[in-house]
Structure 1
Amino acid sequence: MSKTKERTGAATANNVSTQGQVVGPVAPPRVSARRRRPGVIALSLALIAAGGAGVAVLLLQVGNRTEVVTVVRDVQVGQVLTEQDLGRASMALDPAVKAVRADSLKSVVGKRAAVELKPGSMLSPSQVTRDSLVKSGEQLVPIGLKPEQVPATALVSGQKVRLVHVPAQGAGDTGQAGKQSDGSQETIAGRVVKASQAAPGTGVVVVDVATAAKDGPTAAAWLSAGTLRMVLDAPDGN
């Protein structure tokens, strides 16, 4: 090999060695630490505290459960309650909720349902009564109301009503039918004992109305003649 080629090969080797030199590890760029924001830290702590308080309240409510009386089957208005109609359930109660406690179940057995009771509902003291819904000296008059005669206001047990005598069809010429000698309309005071659901197909609602015993036959006669109408009294009876 010639000296010229030897010099060229050495130069090439030196160049490759220089270019292939291994570079040391690169230091990562310095990142300045973020400034801590006291407001964000305080908000985070407040949220954590609020969450802990909520969990504590929930656990407290779950722990403070009350045994109450429930209804396990349908009970109609005026029906006498038996032990088979009632059950027990444990639940967290708001202090404002009035419920019959389970240890008082015996005290409601034998009472009458003041309203219609449905299975799965909690029993409250106002839903039962010792009084008969038809009192001594009263009579019960069942009144069928057509859909257009049923008030939009739901009829409930104990609601005061007034039975009104209206002129019969074709008897209004004199203007006196259904009126007393002083010109006032003939009316009978009554009280709703029970109202049925609307009958399928006809929509007729049957309302049991308690009236004074002396007025029962009169109301029945008006009803038979088709001259009876029922109106709701104001809550105070006026």
Structure 2
Amino acid sequence: MSSRIRVDTAAHGVPQQGRVAGPVAPPRVSARRRRPGVIALSLALIAAGGAGVAVLLLQVGNRTDVVTVIRDVQVGQVLSEDDLGRASVALDPALKAVRTDDLESVVGRRAAVELKPGSLLASSQVTSDNVVKAGEQLVPIGLEPQQIPATDLVPGQKVQLVHVPAPGTADTGATPDVAAQTIDGRVVKTSGAAPGTGAVVVDVATSANDGPTAVVWEAAGALRLVLAAADGD
């Protein structure tokens, strides 16, 4: 009996309390399964980003050397190299800017319109013609705010100079069927409105024969400017 008791004690007593635990296996972690849709979306975003970078690089690399305006140039002024600069830009095909290779072709020509610094120079903005042609004279016409047409006056636009009675000298007995005296002209340049008064000066090219008459009408305050028909009739 005593022998059996010792066996039980050895099995359930001290040896059980002093038992050394073996190595513990780490918990198993199952790998997350990636959904095919997420993978496809990720690949699409990467591809789109790469395409965007490619387009940007293509645009940056596809630049054109063009002529720019670096100083104020008035209508009719002869262009010099000091008036022009160069720039490399991503040019819209719709813009007909002068290329730097053609710079010499515009130097020495006249500005057909007023040119402002910072703008690109277009071939339509220069001309080989004189602003005032042979057989013409330039007449400055002063217009008060109420006499200025709502339509912008631009260089090259055809106008008529009309003789009207000066203020306070109207002939009330004049027959209404008498045709007004008119002079045909062409707008060369228009000034900005004068501070305070809003008056504008329009340079009008007329024939050399009509120029002196237009000056007399202007001096007497008996001249008005009207727009001619688009076809000049």
SS in 2 for 1:211: strand
SS in 1 for 2:138: strand
Deviations 1:23-50 (A, max 9, x none): xxxx99x99x799474x76666555544
SS in 1 for 2:65: strand
1:206-225 to 2 correspondence within 5 Å?
A: 206-225=201-220
1:6-155 to 2 correspondence within 5 Å?
A: 36=35, 38=37, 46=44, 48-155=46-153
SS in 2 for 1:84: helix
TM-superposed deviation, 1:71: 0.9
Q: Provide the TM-score with structure 2 as the length reference.
A: 0.78
Whole-angstrom CA distance in 2 between matches of 1:44 and 1:230: 69
SS in 2 for 1:69: strand
Whether 2:187 is the aligned partner of 1:189: answer no
Residue 173 of structure 2: aligned partner: 174
Structure 2 residue runs of 5 or longer lacking an equivalent are 1-26
Name which of 161, 164, 180 aligns with 1:163: 161
SS in 1 for 2:165: coil
Deviations 1:83-109 (A, max 9, x none): 111111100101111011111111111
TM-superposed deviation, 1:175: 3.5
Q: Provide the TM-score with structure 1 as the length reference.
A: 0.77
Residue 22 of structure 2: aligned partner: none
Whole-angstrom CA distance in 1 between matches of 2:44 and 2:152: 49
TM-superposed deviation, 1:233: 2.1
| Aligned residue type for 1:164 | V
Whole-angstrom CA distance in 2 between matches of 1:37 and 1:212: 82
Deviations 1:166-201 (A, max 9, x none): 23324141244xx8xx63222211111111111222
Name which of 210, 213, 223 aligns with 1:228: 223
The alignment yields a C-alpha RMSD, in angstroms, of 2.7
| Aligned residue type for 2:82 | Q
Q: Which moved more, 1:154-163 or 1:51-60?
A: 51-60
| Identity %, equivalent residues | 73
Aligned length: 210
Describe the shift of the 1:166–1:47 C-alpha distance in structure 2 as closer, same or farther (beyond 3 A): farther
